[in-house]
């Protein structure tokens, strides 16, 4: 899979602090802007990979956003490359302790949320263009990932 590198100080890179008080680790994450129209997107129930499919995006404009539409999309979501499953309501997880970064909205309301955080080391899976792993940080780290994958 292609690896896309972002410098840690890039303006679209933030840090997500683990909500688990026993962990508290901060993980760099790429954050899509509202202009990217990255909705709907769904996280894996096991890891922090995320899927964004144009076929689902088209359904948002053709249908009312409700539980029925969510169920229709959810029935077609594939398994994640890690062995988990992309599901509505799943969230990215702390890479250290696996605690979910909880979202304040339910899965139906999240159908049209365009802000999609992708944690360092996680993958964006797409049905058009190419899927890729996000690498945030130094160039040596990027080259290391290229040669070890």
Model pTM?
0.90
The pLDDT tens digits of the residues spanning 110-123 come to: 999 988 999 999 99
Q: Write the CA distances from 126 to 1, 22, 52, 143, 148, integer angstroms.
A: 12, 34, 5, 24, 23
Q: Write the CA distances from 114 to 98, 139, 144, integer angstroms.
A: 24, 29, 31
**Residue numbers of the domain that contains 54:** 2-148
Q: What are the pLDDT tens digits along the chain (149 aa)?
A: 898 989 999 999 999 999 999 999 999 999 887 667 889 999 999 999 999 999 999 999 899 999 999 999 999 999 999 999 999 999 999 999 999 999 999 999 999 998 899 999 999 999 988 999 999 987 766 667 666 76
Locus of tokens 């760099």: 28
Tokens of 67: 């539980």
**Domain count within the chain:** 1
Q: Which of 123, 147, 129 is nearest to 30 (CA)?
A: 123
């Amino acid at each position: 899979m292609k690896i896309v590198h972002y410098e840690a100080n890039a303006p679209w890179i933030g840090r997500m602090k683990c909500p688990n008080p026993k962990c508290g680790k901060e993980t760099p994450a790429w954050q899509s802007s509202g202009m990217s129209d990255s909705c709907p997107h769904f996280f894996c129930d096991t890891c922090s990979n995320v899927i964004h499919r144009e076929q689902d995006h088209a359904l948002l404009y053709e249908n009312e956003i409700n539980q029925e539409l969510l169920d229709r999309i959810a029935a077609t979501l594939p398994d994640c490359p890690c062995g988990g499953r992309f599901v509505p309501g799943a969230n990215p997880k702390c890479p250290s302790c696996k605690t979910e970064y909880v979202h304040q909205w339910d899965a139906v309301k999240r159908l049209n949320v365009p802000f999609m955080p992708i944690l360092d080391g996680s993958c964006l899976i797409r049905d058009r263009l190419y899927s890729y792993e996000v690498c945030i940080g130094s160039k040596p780290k990027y080259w290391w990932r290229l040669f070890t994958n």
